[in-house]
Structure 1
Amino acid sequence: MTAPAPVPLVFVYNADGGVLNGLRDLWVKTVRPGEYDCQLCAVTYGVTGMKREWRDYVKGLGRDVRFLHRDELRDEYGVQGVPLPAAFEVGPDGTLREWLPASQIRAAATLDDLMRLVKARLDREARTEPAPAP
């Protein structure tokens, strides 16, 4: 018997998608970082795009991982009004279940903090998964 495929993850930014929104976010993040409201964006993106260290880390998770903006979350899953940024698992029926709440992601002051948070969550899952049948 083969092990089930790892559950896909969806990280959702507390920002809307699109070029103009991206430029606005970059301006606020640079000029008034204290007013920027997406800690996921703040620690995973630099001026030139997604930080390589984060991109490589996510690729190494062994899971399908997607990144959405809050308007895309609403459009694709019908989910709105949830605290963001957050990460969700995609269930077998296509519904989302909170995987990392906004409170935890907002508390990640650095990229290393965020990667430790993700690792801790994965470690908890590994300890609670049932052993494969012989």
Structure 2
Amino acid sequence: MTAEHPHLLMVYNADGGVFAMVSDAVHKVLSPDTYPCSLCMITYGAVSMKREWRVYLERLPARVTFHHRDDFAAAWPGARFELPVILRESGGQLSMLVSASELDAVETVEQLSALVDARLAQPQRV
């Protein structure tokens, strides 16, 4: 991808699979304050992606790949990032676009969208 059309990786601090998704949905509803994935809390309802986030991603001039922590570890075995995280991939190298602590501070899809847009407008950090 070119600099105008980056490849972003959205990495959730949750495992993939049906059992994990059901457990996560229950956890988010019953105890949202202790749920460990702020990226999930911002972008998903109990079971599906929020419409505002889906619309944002569809208009975003970037390729987006979604990972859960288990499949991210398998796809990128040497990568060490605190999760959740939004990464930019270029030439097989990953750089942080939005950190876990920044995601923890975001409360809405609109805030996250503005943060991603602002970061994509900056020169790529290596």
Normalising by structure 2, report the TM-score. 0.88
Q: Indicate if the aligned counterparts of 2:97 and 2:116 stay in contact, CA closer than 8 A.
A: no
Give structure 1 regions of 4+ aligned residues with deviation exceeding 6 angstroms: none
SS in 2 for 1:98: strand
Q: Indicate if the aligned counterparts of 2:28 and 2:46 stay in contact, CA closer than 8 A.
A: no
Normalising by structure 1, report the TM-score. 0.83
Q: Indicate if the aligned counterparts of 2:6 and 2:61 stay in contact, CA closer than 8 A.
A: no
Q: 2: distance between equivalents of 1:122 and 1:50?
A: 22
Q: Which stretches in structure 2 are left out of the alignment for 5+ residues?
A: none
Q: 1: distance between equivalents of 2:94 and 2:116?
A: 17
SS in 2 for 1:17: coil
1:73 equivalent in structure 2: 72
1:57 matched to 2:59? The reply is no
Report the residue type matching 1:78 in the other structure.
Answer: P
Structure 1 range deviating more: 112-121 or 29-38: 112-121
For the aligned residue pairs, the C-alpha RMSD in angstroms reads: 1.8
2:30 equivalent in structure 1: 31
CA displacement, residues 55-113 of structure 1 (integer Å, 9 cap, x when unaligned): 11011111101111011110111145521110111121x23221211111111112121
Report the residue type matching 1:52 in the other structure.
Answer: R
1:7 CA displacement: 2.0
Q: 1: distance between equivalents of 2:4 and 2:109?
A: 27
Q: 2: distance between equivalents of 1:98 and 1:43?
A: 18
| Bigger CA radius of gyration | 1
* Cα pair distance change 1:118/1:48, threshold 3 Å: same
CA displacement, residues 18-38 of structure 1 (integer Å, 9 cap, x when unaligned): 110111111110001111010
